[in-house]
Structure 1
Amino acid sequence: MVLVFILSTTIVQVGRGQLQVTTGHGAEELLQMLLGQGVVVSNVTSVGLIATENPEVWQAGKFFNGIVAGIGIDSGLLLTSGDALLAIGPNNNGGDGIPTLNGGDLDLGAIIGTITEDACILEFDFVPMYDTIAFRYSFASEEYNDFVNGGVNDVFAFFITGPNPSGGTYDKFNIAIIPKTSVPVSINTLNNGNNSAGSPNCRGNGPCEYCQYYVDNCIYGSPIEYDGYTTVLTAMAVVVPCQSYHLKIAIADGGDEVYDSGVFLEAGSFSSPGVALEPVYSTPGGAPFAVEGCTQADLKVTLPFALPATSWVVFDSITGSATNGVDYNLINDSVMFLPNQLTVTIPIIPVYDAQTEGDENIYIYLSNQVGCAGVNLQRTEILLHDFIPVEIGSDTAVCEGTQVTFNVGEVYKSYTWHDGTHGQTWTSSGLPPGGQVSIAVEDSWGCTSSDTLQLTVHERPVVNPIRHD
C-alpha cells in the first residue's frame, strides 16, 4: 500500500499594509527560504509544522510584506507556538492563541524550568565556508505585555552544536541572545514592563528591560496581531570553517497553551560571509588610484558581523609591483578589531619618489578567507599613480635684450606663471622682479607642483672703437 500525502498551500491575502502569511510548506522548502551564502545544509527535519489537533492548522509558514507591516523584516519564514495565520493583523484581540496538541521540547523546557507544549522545530546540519554564521530575526508574542515576569512564558531558542573555535564544542548552545550580553532573548528579559499579569490593558508600564530592542504593539488595529515584538536582532556564532554543525530552531508555549508566540526569520539571512575588503580613494573625480605625494587610498576592512571580543584579521600576503614600506607607507599583515567594532580603515599613502615608473599596484590577500576548497577566495587591488612634478629648467643667464622662452614639457590642467599669465610657455620680455621665473601647475587629479629658476640678465659689453692714430 502506498500512502500519498498532498501538502496544500494556504494563501491569505490581506489589505495593503498588513502582514501576509502562507502555510502548507514542507521543512526543506522553508529552510531554502532562510538560506544565504557560504553554507551547505543537509539532514533537514522538523517537528510540529502541522497541528495534531487540526491538520488544517500550520504552526509554520512563509511571511511577506513585513517591512510595511512594521516587523522590520520584509519576508522569510515564521515558526509559531500556535497557528501561523494568527500573526496576521489587524491586532484586535488582546490574547490570541490556539492549542495544537503538539508536544513540548525538553531543551526549551530546560531554559524556562517548566513544561512546554505546542513546540514547532526546524533543525538541520550545515557546513560553514567561513569563520562566522549568522541570521536575522524578530521574536513576537501575545504574552506581551500582560504576562511579563508573570511566571508562565513562551520560549524560543536557536541551539547550535559543533566545534567551538575557542576550544571544546558547542553543545546545544543558544545563540538567541540580547545584543552585547549573554542573556537569552525572552519575554521576561526583553520588554517594557507589564501592567499586571492578565490585565485587560496590555500596555507596558515599565520598568524597562532592554527595551531599546522592544516594540510595544498593543495598539488596536495595528498590522500584526502580536502585542509586542523585538526589533530585528542578529543571531551569530563564531565557527570553524568547513566543519559540520547542527542547528535547532525551536519555539513552544511555556506552562500553558493559551497565548501564542512566533519568531520571524529573515529570508536569505542564514549565511557565512567572509571579511570584506574595499579600497576607497581620495583622488578627485572618482579616479580609481592614489597619486604619489598628493592623494591616498583607504583600505576598509569590514567584518560580516561585529564580534563581542577583540579579534584579528590576518592578511595572507601583501604583494604587487609596489613594495610595502618603500613605495607606500608600511602596513602590517594583521588588523585588530575591538569588541563590537565592525570596520577598520587602513590608510595607504604612496611615497613621492620623483621617478616615472608607470602605475604600480598592491595585492592584498586574506588568510582567513580560505574556504573549503582550500584556495584564496578574495583579493583586493590598490593602484598607485605617478605624479610628474613640473620642471622649467635650471638657472639661466641671458644677454640684455635677448628673449628666452621657458616651456613646460608635461601636460597639466592649468598653468600659472609668476606674472599671472597662463599657458604651457612663457617668454621673457625683461628681467622679472628679483630675477625669478616661477610656474605653478595643477593636474587633472587636483595635485599641484611648482618650480622656480633664477634668470640673470647681463649687460651687453660696450666695444670701444679702435683708434688708429
Structure 2
Amino acid sequence: MIKYILTSFFLLFLISSKGQLVVSQTGTVAQWVQNILTGTGVSVSNVTYTGDLQSIAKFTTGANATTLGMTDGLILCTGNATQVAGAASTFASTSTSGGSDPLLANLITFTINDAAILEFDFVPLSDTVKFKYIFGSEEYPEFSLSSFNDVFGFFISGYNPSGGMYTNQNVALLPGTSTAVSIANINNGTWGTGPCVNCSYYVNNSASPYVAYDAYTTPLYATFLVVPCFTYHIKLVIGDASDAIFDSGVFLEANSFSSNTVNLSTTTTNSIDTMAIEGCNNAIVRIQIPYITPVDKVLYYATSGDAINGVDYVYLPGTVTIPAGSDSTSILIEPIIDGINEGLEYIELFVATSSCTYDTLTIYIADNKTLECNLPSDTVLCNSDTMTINPNIVGGYLPYSYTWSTGDTTSTLLSDPSITTTYTLTITDICNTDTFDQIIIYDGSPQIVIIGDSVCSNDTAHISAV
C-alpha cells in the first residue's frame, strides 16, 4: 500500500470534461481539503491520502448542476475519478493500486480492493459538525443484492460529548438511523424494478449524459456531535468489494464540512442612519448559525464602552437564545432618550461564538437632534397679493412630514387670504418627533366708508378709507 503525505507533494495535471461535469486533479489533496471541502467553523490539519492518486479529484458542474444536487466538491472513488465525468452509458471501471482497509473490512465479510482513504484532523468551533455527500456506483442496479457490494465509511475519533470517546465511529448513516449507507441498504432491486429499499434516497441515473454511475443516492448529511475546541480525527474511505472492477465513488460537497458557528451582523430599525439614535433608531444585532438547531442554543455576551448598560440603552441581560427549529436570533439595542448632549457614544459587544472563540461588534449611539421649525415673520398682504410660506427646518432626521392648519401636507403653502388668517405648520420627522410654528398674514386691503346715503346735484360727498 502506498501512503502520501500531501503537504508538499503536487499531483500531476489531469482533467476530464464531458457534458457539464468537470473533474480535475490539479493541485494537492491538502489544498483541496483546506480550500474546497472545508467550510466555516472548523480548522483542518494533517491531511493525508492513502491509495491510488487517480482515485481522488475535485469536480464542478458549472452552470448546469446535472442531477447530483451539488455544484462542486471532491470525489473519492475506487477507480479513475476522471471516468466519472461521462454519460451513464459509459463504463467507469478501473483496477487501481489501492489495497484493503481494516475499518471497511469490519463492515462486510468480503475482500476489500482499490481502497481510497482520505484522513485529516480538525478542531470544531461549535457542538455539531456536518457535511454533505452523495454515494454512487456502477454496481447499481445489477449487483445491488450481491457480494459485489462496494462499501464506504466516514469514521470519527475524538471526545464524545455524551461521554467517553468516539473510536472510528461510522457517521455515514441513513438519516435518523444507525444503519450504514450502502448499495444493499439503498436500491430499487437487482434490475431497478423493485423491491424498493429506502428508495426515497435512490436516484436512477441510467439515462444521464453527465455522470457515469448508473445510480446514486440523494444528497445526504453526515452529522455528529462534538466538544467544541478539541481535536478530532476523521477517516473517509471507500473500497471495491469482492472484485476490483465496477467502480463506486463518494461526492463530498464544497464548503460543507463545517460546524454550526455563530455569525454576527448589524442593522437598524430605520434607514435614516447606520448608527443607533436616542429615542428613534434602535440597533439590531443579528446572530446566525449555518443550519437549524434542533434544540435551544443559548449564547452568552458581554458589553463595554462609554455607553452604559441600563442607563444609555435598555438593559441587556447577557444571554440570548436561538430557539429550536431556527437558525437565528437577534439582540435589540434601544438607546434611551435623556435630553443630555453627550456626543457620540459606543457599545462594544462581545459574543461567545464557541467555548474558545468570541466575536466583537461596535455599535454607536447618537443624540437625538432637536427639531425646530421657523416660519417667516407675520406679514401684511394688500389687494390680491399672494405669498408662498416657506418654512426653515433645522435638526431632526429626514424625511419630514408637513401638516398645515389648512389641511395641506406640502412643504410650502401658497397664501392669498381674503381676511386676516393665522397659519400653523406642524413638522414631524422619521423619529416621530414633532414641533410647530405659526404665522399671521393680515389683510391690508383698504376699506371704503361712505358717510351718508345720497348726494344731490352740485353737492359734495366725503369718502374715507380705513
Tell me the TM-score normalised to structure 1 length: 0.71
Q: Deviations over 1:429-450 (max 9, x none)?
A: 96759xxx561322xxx33322
Structure 1 position 358 matched with structure 2 position 343:
yes
Amino acid at match of 1:379: T
- Out of 286, 299, 306, the residue aligned to residue 300 of structure 1 is 286
Give the partner amino acid of 1:78: I
Q: Which TM-score applies when normalising by structure 2? A: 0.71
Q: Report if the CA contact (8 A) 1:406-1:425 is conserved.
A: no
Which residue number in structure 1 is paired with residue 455 of structure 2?
none
Paired letter, 1:243:
F
For residues 6-85 of structure 1, the aligned pairs below 5 Å read 9=12, 11-15=14-18, 17-23=19-25, 27-28=29-30, 30-33=32-35, 34-35=37-38, 39-50=42-53, 58-65=54-61, 68=64, 70=66, 71-85=68-82
Deviations for 1:175-196, whole angstroms, at most 9, x for unmatched residues?
Answer: 334556655433344x5x51x3
Give the percent of matched residue pairs that are identical in Structure 1 and Structure 2. Answer: 35
8 Å CA contact 1:66, 1:73 repeated in 2: no
C-alpha displacement of 1:250: 0.6
Equivalent of residue 274 in structure 1, options 225, 245, 261:
261
User: Gaps (5+ residues) in structure 1?
Assistant: 1-5, 51-57, 399-404, 457-469
Deviations 1:31-85 (A, max 9, x none): 44544566554444333225xxxxxxx2223333366352344443321122323
Q: Is the 8 A contact 1:440 1:448 kept in 2?
A: no
What displacement does 1:283 show?
1.5
> Alpha-carbon deviation of 1:120?
1.2
Output the CA distance in 2 between the equivalents of 1:363 and 1:210.
52
Q: Supply the distance in 1 between the matched residues of 2:62 and 2:152 (Cα, whole angstroms).
A: 20
Aligned counterpart, 1:450 = 434
* 1:236–1:324 distance in 2 versus 1, CA, 3 Å: farther
Cα offsets for 1:148-194 (capped at 9, x unmatched): 566753222221111223432221122334556655433344x5x51
User: For 2:113 and 2:170, how far apart are their aligned partners in 1?
Assistant: 19
Secondary structure of 1:143's aligned partner: coil
Cα gap change, 1:138 to 1:326, in 2 (>3 Å): farther
Question: How many residues get paired?
Answer: 411
Conservation of the 8 A alpha-carbon contact between 2:352 and 2:359: no
The yes-or-no answer on 1:219 pairing with 2:207 is yes
Q: Is the 8 A contact 1:305 1:342 kept in 2?
A: yes
The residue type equivalent to 2:84 in the other structure is: A
The equivalent residue for 1:54 is: none
AA partner of residue 218 (structure 1) = S
Return the letter of the residue paired with 1:311. K
Whole-angstrom distance in 2 between the partners of 1:144 and 1:297: 56
CA radius of gyration, larger in: 2
- 1:91 touches 1:224 (CA, 8 Å); kept in 2? yes
Other-structure match for 1:186:
182
Q: 1:339 to 1:125 in 2, by over 3 A?
A: same
| 1:337 and 1:344 in contact (8 A); partners too | yes
1:66 and 1:232 map into 2 onto residues whose CA distance is 18
Q: CA deviation at 1:342?
A: 1.8
- Residues in 1 aligned to 2:205 and 2:100: alpha-carbon distance in whole angstroms: 27
- Say if 1:42 and 1:453 are closer, same or farther in 2 by CA, change over 3 A: closer
* Residue number in structure 2 paired with 1:263: 250
Alignment match, 1:343: 328
The residue type paired with residue 198 of structure 2 is E
Q: Which protein has the bigger strand share? A: 2
Pair 1:209-2:198 in alignment: yes
CA distance 1:38–1:228, shift in 2 (3 Å): same
- Secondary structure of the 2:64 match is helix
One-letter amino acid of the counterpart of residue 97, structure 1: S
What is the RMSD computed on CA atoms of the aligned residues? Answer: 4.2
After TM superposition, list the pairs within 5 Å mapping 1:71-220 onto structure 2: 71-93=68-90, 96-100=92-96, 102-112=98-108, 114-128=110-124, 131-148=127-144, 153-178=149-174, 183-189=179-185, 191=186, 193-194=187-188, 196-197=189-190, 199=191, 202=192, 207=196, 209=198, 211=200, 214-220=202-208
